[in-house]
Amino acid sequence: MKVNTLILGAGAAGLFCGAHAGPDTLIVDHARAPGEKIRISGGGRCNFTNRDTGPQNFIGENRHFHKSALARYTPWDFISLLDAAGITWHEKTLGQLFCDDKATQIVTLLLDMVAQAGAKLWLETTVGEVRKSPDGFEVTLTRGGKTHSVSARNLVVATGGKSIPKMGATGLAYQIAAQFGLRVTETRPALVPFTFAADRFAPIAGVAQPAVAKAIRGPAFAEAMLFTHRGLSGPAMLQISSYWQEGEEIEVDLFHGTDPTRALREARKTGPKKNFTTILGGMMPTRLVDHLAEAHDLSGNCAEWSDTRIDKLVTDLRHWRLRPTGTEGYRTAEVTLGGVATDGLSSQTMEAKTVPGLYFIGECMDVTGWLGGFNFQWAWASGHAAALAIAGK
């Protein structure tokens, strides 16, 4: 069997690339259904992009690699696609855009686009040997108990990273990259909850609190944090997990960027006989205050609290230092940090510089977005860039 383009992976990047790469295209995936990450994302409504997408929202060795593709296919390009298809959407917060209805609308749209483009889709197909040939690539595929040898002029790797192995995630992209002499950066789970020893936060599991959080080496994120039986989750924690290194501390501002010093001092005048914990309970959940009381002396009424005591508590809770034991790993990680090194790829086309016709797109690359629709936008943009290069050959 001969095709112009063989795409490995029917996720967001692979389907979008297949919809634009030309009619003589075959997309394969080992899953029973395409676009599973699209389907489950955003609570089933798919956070398909972020209106405020910019180069600063991505992590990787090369801070500039992703700029070209993102500039050539923007969030508004994808929004226009949804508008034309009659898929309505809304902004939830911080530029995050979600479908009004089910995420499967986007999967259906992509499949329709693939069909309209004349591309084929093979599911429940296993990728075997991949090798270079004089005219491109020879790939062994197994489908329905039968083995097929497919010759392709172009090979696009869109198999994602290692995140959520129960959905079939593997390191196939990294194996193919290494096989063809491309470097792979260190990979680890990202956008993932933290774990702590000895059920540290089990008594307050389920409590949520707005916070400003940061890892030692990364930026601060002002979003919600959630205490769980295993540790810390919520958007703020997922964001900083991409910057956290094992063994390091994280820092949390429980007053989410505000300074309550004046209000706490005023409480001595307005309610001198009130318990200090009552006043603090007006600023954060009571269960969290009770938990903090185990490590901080919160006893006494407001009149008993000196300026020095108030200042120290505020400082401690605005710079709450914690040391996670680890993360929940690839099992729950939304994405994989690191991947196929971008120094071996063209930022214009996603093509390997030393292997003509070989492309890498989406999550398998060393381009990782923040939480909030950025990784889907990278899937659309990188898939589109590769497809245009292929179609223009």
Share of the chain above pLDDT 70, in %: 100
Tens digit of each residue's pLDDT (9 = 90 or more) over 90-106: 999 999 999 999 999 99
DSSP-assigned beta bridge partners for residue 192: none
Fold of 193-327: Elongation Factor Tu (Ef-tu); domain 3 (2.40.30)
* Range with the poorest average pLDDT among 122-136, 157-171, 235-249: 157-171
Evaluated on CA atoms 46, 47, 49, 51, the torsion sign reads positive
pLDDT at residue number 10: 98
SS3 category, 378? helix
CA distances from 106 to 12, 23, 125, 270, 381 (A): 9, 21, 23, 55, 16
pLDDT at residue number 169: 85
Q: How remote is the C-alpha of 268 from its chain's centroid?
A: 45
Q: How far apart are CA 43 and CA 52, in angstroms?
A: 21
The yes/no answer on whether domain 2-188+336-391 falls in CATH 3.50.50.60 is yes
Tens digit of each residue's pLDDT (9 = 90 or more) over 278-304: 999 999 999 999 999 989 999 999 999
Q: How does the average pLDDT of the chain come out, rounded?
A: 97
Q: Where in the chain is the domain with CATH 3.50.50.60?
A: 2-188+336-391
Q: Where in the chain is the domain with CATH 2.40.30.10?
A: 193-327
Q: What global pTM score does this model have?
A: 0.96
Q: Are strands 208-215 and 250-253 parallel, antiparallel or unpaired?
A: antiparallel
Terminal CA-CA length for the chain = 21
255 CB-near residues (< 8 Å, 6+ apart): 283, 284, 314, 317, 318
Cross-sheet strand order for the sheet of 89-91: 47-50, 96-99, 89-91
